[in-house]
Amino acid sequence: GDVSVEQIPGHLTDHYDPRDKVLRLSTDVYNDRSLAAVGIAAHEAGHAIQDAKSYGPLVVRNAVVPVANFGSSAGIWMCILGLIFSWQPLLVFGIVIFSVVVFFQLVNLPVEFDASARAKHELVALGIVPAVEMQYVNKVLNAAALTYVAATLQAVMTLLYFVMRARD
């Protein structure tokens, strides 16, 4: 009840901001009434529900965000520079910092899948989308979930690459 909804510019900029308790929807999603737009908005509302219920993985994810943001940029550069200059301590420190990114991605997976599950449930329970049309919403939400799986695999493989290079 204490969450506001705002329209924001951009494409694929939809998100829930737990600090400000705001559901921010891109112009396309905010103004569209398609099943895809409804599914995306409901997914972001699922994050608001997680926040209201203090969903454990979301709490952990939100706590790790600042370090993960730092690790995704600084950690990777430390690893690259450690390899270029053959400076093992910098490479190892970069690996440690980048490990937080992998941890974030691993924690983020259940958060995203749970938000979609909550969205699917609420859309049917509230009668927003008839059960027979949920197959289309499911396709959108499943495709979005796969992007998080891909990002997690990419982070894990990047970390493994640097770990293997550090062992040389």
The amino acid at residue 147 is: T
* C-alpha dihedral sign at 23, 109, 155, 63: positive
Burial 93-122 (b: 16+ CB within 10 A, else e): bbbebbbbbbbbbebbbbbbbbbbebbbee
Dist. CA 166–CA 34, nearest whole Å: 49
Q: What is the dihedral of CA 123, 125, 129, 130, to 10 degrees?
A: 150
Cα–Cα nearest to 43, from 125, 138, 149, 130: 138
Contacts of residue 32, Cβ cutoff 8 Å, sequence gap at least 6: none
Catalytic residues: 44
Contacts of residue 53, Cβ cutoff 8 Å, sequence gap at least 6: none
